[in-house]
Structure 1
């Protein structure tokens, strides 16, 4: 009888209001263990002059962060990331959207087209870099012979060896690799537009162009927001493709140097660096500062683009 009374006892006020938090605890503990604790440790290391080798560690406070603000290579690499971001963003919001619109018309072999266009996304970035390194090679590559055979031989150059074309090659490879994301995101958004809205506009006398720009395009605002933020994060995390195509030095003459390669060689060095050039704590400081800047910019992007969604 006592056991039955305990089972029928109503839950306490605390259990009703906060009982669901027990389901959050495992994920919160995991998050604290794999993210916040290493982040705190990295911040502590960034406030020292540790090279990553030996036990010679001296606390220097925020000196590393102050040095970064006047560090020319940091701004040069950030500029390259910004150029890649702007070009890729324009490419995705034009070519990616146009391709998604064509696929939304459900052409013949649509599933085949979707698979082929999305295939570069699921490829390893390292494998992508190696494939394009071979294709862009002036000796055994495919790009230059194709240009010569089509009468565009004046465009056949050593793509990865000239400062004027190396960054262009990196952008082309990055665009090829990320186009599938734009197509899938926009295609899913296009398929979610209610047919009733388009039919109502057509009944009011709107042609196909007006239906798209006045009815369909405003409905794509959430896709525009998501794709913009994801593109920003992806391009400012660029490392694999640049490392494989042009190496950790961002060759030639740092023309393709990005924040990822700069942080890598600062913290770990390269084969051409001596142990005295390795500054592990300074590299961590650059990584943390980049993460903080990216978080702030992402927050501003989301805030502004969400406001645009409400207005449209």
Structure 2
């Protein structure tokens, strides 16, 4: 394989028509440029330059090789830039996996922040279904709670917060006028939930209900949360959901704190170890912790866990006015 350094010298000589000018442009001495040209002539077996008066002149064969070398060297430069961008988190692809309870509040903000800071990054957003079959922990960064599978050696964890659960009741129901309710207050009312009834998510709620002395009467189990809200607003159903999920209830739905004893859960950010040093990943973790802190300040029943992540260097940000990639 021909040496790229020698090819760069040839391309410079072809462009300037002068060994001295090429030496100045490349930061070499004229003798070093001449040596590189001589070595390249031996490697190719082709006369690349010839004497012309006191200077040199590129030969037709040398000019043709210089043109071809230019295309190859530009491609090599592109590869080097790509490697540097991947190293610094400025390009490539990352996948962030999220759960329903942060889908409408955290994810849009995070995606916008990441795309502004890393406009060349391709960010894939992956919704994590709450069925057991989806516990395959895909992605580079994901939000998980304390009943997810063990992370193993492929992942490192950053604690975010612990949150309470809340009751969602129809605004027309007598319970809606209370400041809070106990789980037992919901025992005789039909329930609606989007959690699969055999999932570990619903098992947490079910266990708390059993401790309160009853089994919830789940009559509606749609696959999506918006349908749950519709059934509650109709006046005949209640639900128990994480407090992060419903802070701005639609008309017809009232959110009430659950009095203790009631279920709680903690959330973590899981980072794939192979991606942990990527500046874009570190930026995502920092932003997630900051967003969690904001929610802990304004939502009752949420407590921050651990300390904000610290990294040696701040992730690079795009220049002001950069558009999302």
* TM bracket (short chain): under 0.3
Question: If each structure's strand is expressed as a fraction of its own residues, which one has the higher value?
Answer: 2
Question: If each structure's helix is expressed as a fraction of its own residues, which one has the higher value?
Answer: 1
TM-score computed with the length of structure 2 as normaliser: 0.20
Higher relative contact order, structure no. (Cα contacts within 8 Å, ≥ 6 residues apart): 1
Larger Rg: 2
